[in-house]
């Protein structure tokens, strides 16, 4: 039987030390929230914001690129793009993430399934492209559309959105930090539930994947396949059959075994997943893009998981399309961006069953990503969703905007017009710091 021995002085000391470490690890630092829990954390203010940016034909070099924005207040280039690494061509740059040691940033392209690996450790102001994975579809056994890049110990977890047929059947694909393929785990379907209990249906779609280590739980969400996300949005919205092919599920996994346990019914396309950080807070939030609701996914006292809608985001009847969300490190404040009205809304989620909107602000004509610092004082926004879904004409604003947040209102720090800078469509943001590498 495990663990039957009474706690020795050594073990007690270890436990006390661990508790102390936890106190020290409280929300006093300044890294970005909403990161992999396995990843090294910035303990000072971020120096840089890396922006994975879609290229635009005829704008600058037209290539997807990783842009470094100087976030060092007092720097002569504060609030300016100071470096860009073009990767050559356009690949529908979308999301990305650091390895657990934070020495590499992996950035994925949704259209041709390429993954670009940048070294951010040698010169954090000037990332360097060191490897391109161009056989993702072949090595994974048919997964396509690599979406995020989520740090696991010594490995990266890449949730796909699609497959070689372009439909929404998706997989989770693992690579070693060295960029070598490790394994593929397909999302469960009604036909192949892989042992999962299914609430309503298992559509097999994928989007985000995030782990709550202390419960050995991974949660995944669901979007749509390549055949949909590469189509012009206006065209797609008129296609009633195509609009049926969007995710309606979230999957609770036994993370260690990589086995699905429960397929939850979350209609309306659940996208970003944010686990609460508190040691007793065994829940996550997500937002649904097509039904404009906040959902709470929670474990009960018996170890069963369920999902329920807990708030509307804006007026769902106007289809605001919630996109990125960001939960503060103290689990009290949730930022929710809506693409169509370019607005960020702030919810008090201290009672997760009853989120209450406390603030809203229009950031631009369109809005997608939001990243906040660990201390909750600095908030960054970008504008682009997908090349074919971004607005057109004068409403096609492409920006990174930085604000301070005092708990009541956003105040501007700086803004960068990515079109005027001839950079492209800014999407995923990630924080960098020279201190991580002893620099």
| Under rule CB under 8 A, residue 43 binds another protein | yes
User: How many C-beta atoms lie closer than 10 Å to residue 198's C-beta?
Assistant: 17
| Under rule CB under 8 A, residue 279 binds another protein | yes
Q: Which of residues 238-277 bind another protein (CB under 8 A)?
A: 254, 256-259, 275-277
| Under rule CB under 8 A, residue 177 binds another protein | yes
Among 196, 271, 325, 436, binds another protein (CB under 8 A): 436
Using DSSP, state whether 336 is helix, strand or coil: strand
Residue corresponding to tokens 């929404």:
168
Write down the least CB distance from residue 184 to another protein, Å: 9
Q: Which of residues 340-379 bind another protein (CB under 8 A)?
A: none
Write down the least CB distance from residue 95 to another protein, Å: 17
Write down the least CB distance from residue 122 to another protein, Å: 12
13 burial level (CB within 10 Å; 0-12, 13-18, 19+): exposed
> What is the Cα–Cα distance from 69 to 48, expressed in whole angstroms?
5
Residue corresponding to tokens 């002085």:
9
| Under rule CB under 8 A, residue 19 binds another protein | yes
Residue corresponding to tokens 């169509």:
340
Q: Among 75-83, 108-116, 150-158, 332-340, which window interacts with another protein (CB under 8 A)?
A: 150-158
What is the CA angle 72-73-79, rounded to 5? 75
Instruction: Pick the closer one to another protein by CB: 359 or 437.
Output: 437
Q: Is 238 left (phi over 0), alpha (psi -120 to 50) or beta?
A: alpha
**What would the x/- binding string for another protein be over residues 286 to 325, using CB under 8 A?**
-----------------x----------------------
| Under rule CB under 8 A, residue 35 binds another protein | yes
Among 191, 214, 238, 301, binds another protein (CB under 8 A): 214
Among 138, 165, 192, 278, binds another protein (CB under 8 A): 278
Instruction: Pick the closer one to another protein by CB: 223 or 305.
Output: 305
| Residues 30 and 46: beta-carbon distance below 8 Å | yes
| Under rule CB under 8 A, residue 23 binds another protein | yes
Among 64, 174, 208, 324, binds another protein (CB under 8 A): 174
| Residues 262 and 307: beta-carbon distance below 8 Å | no
Q: Token pair of 335, please?
A: 């930022």
Q: Which of residues 86-125 bind another protein (CB under 8 A)?
A: 100-101, 103
User: How remote is the C-alpha of 296 from its chain's centroid?
Assistant: 17
| Under rule CB under 8 A, residue 414 binds another protein | no
Residue corresponding to tokens 């990503």:
369
Instruction: Pick the closer one to another protein by CB: 173 or 410.
Output: 173
Among 12, 192, 358, 411, binds another protein (CB under 8 A): 12
Write down the least CB distance from residue 47 to another protein, Å: 14
| Under rule CB under 8 A, residue 216 binds another protein | yes
Q: Which long-range contacts (CB under 8 A, 24 or more apart) does 86-90 make?
A: 86/55, 86/61, 87/63, 87/114, 87/116, 87/129, 87/132, 88/63, 89/55, 89/63, 89/64, 90/54, 90/55, 90/57, 90/62, 90/63, 90/64, 90/387
Among 4, 191, 240, 394, binds another protein (CB under 8 A): 4
| Under rule CB under 8 A, residue 41 binds another protein | yes
């Amino acid at each position: 039987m495990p663990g039957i021995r009474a706690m020795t002085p050594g073990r007690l000391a270890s436990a006390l030390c661990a508790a102390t470490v936890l106190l020290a690890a409280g929300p006093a630092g300044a890294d970005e929230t909403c990161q992999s829990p396995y990843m090294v954390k910035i303990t000072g203010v971020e120096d840089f914001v890396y922006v994975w940016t879609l290229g635009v034909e005829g704008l600058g070099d037209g290539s997807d690129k990783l842009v470094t924005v100087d976030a060092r207040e007092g720097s002569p280039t504060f609030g300016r793009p100071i470096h860009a690494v073009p990767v050559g061509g356009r690949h529908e740059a979308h999301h990305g993430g650091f390895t657990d040691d934070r020495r590499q940033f992996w950035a994925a392209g949704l259209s041709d399934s390429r993954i670009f690996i940048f070294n951010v450790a040698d010169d954090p102001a000037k990332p360097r492209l060191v490897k391109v994975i161009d056989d993702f579809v072949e090595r994974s056994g048919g997964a396509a559309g690599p979406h995020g890049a989520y740090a696991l110990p010594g490995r990266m977890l890449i949730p796909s959105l699609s497959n070689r047929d372009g439909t929404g059947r998706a997989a989770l694909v693992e690579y070693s930090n060295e960029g070598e393929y490790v394994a593929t785990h397909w999302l469960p379907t009604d036909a192949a539930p892989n042992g999962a209990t299914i609430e309503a249906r298992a559509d097999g779609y994928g989007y985000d994947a995030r782990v709550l280590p202390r419960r050995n739980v991974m949660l995944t969400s669901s979007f749509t396949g390549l055949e949909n996300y590469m189509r012009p949005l206006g065209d797609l919205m008129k296609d009633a059959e195509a609009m049926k092919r969007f995710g309606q599920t979230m999957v609770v996994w036994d993370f260690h075994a990589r086995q699905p346990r429960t397929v939850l019914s979350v209609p309306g396309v659940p996208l970003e997943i944010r686990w609460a950080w508190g040691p007793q807070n065994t829940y996550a939030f997500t937002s649904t893009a097509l039904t404009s609701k906040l959902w709470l996914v929670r474990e009960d006292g018996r170890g069963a998981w369920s999902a329920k809608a807990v708030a509307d985001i804006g007026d769902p009847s106007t289809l605001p399309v919630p996109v990125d969300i960001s939960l503060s490190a103290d689990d009290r404040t949730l930022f929710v961006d809506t693409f169509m009205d370019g607005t960020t809304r702030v919810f008090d989620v201290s009672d997760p069953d009853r989120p209450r909107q406390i603030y809203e602000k229009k950031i631009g004509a369109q809005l997608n990503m939001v990243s906040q610092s660990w201390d909750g004082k600095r908030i960054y926004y970008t504008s682009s969703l997908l090349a074919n879904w971004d607005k057109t004409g004068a409403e096609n604003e492409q920006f990174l905007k930085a604000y301070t947040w005092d708990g009541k209102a956003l105040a501007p720090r700086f803004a960068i017009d990515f079109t005027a800078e001839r950079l492209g469509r800014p999407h995923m943001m990630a924080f960098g710091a020279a201190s991580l590498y002893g620099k």
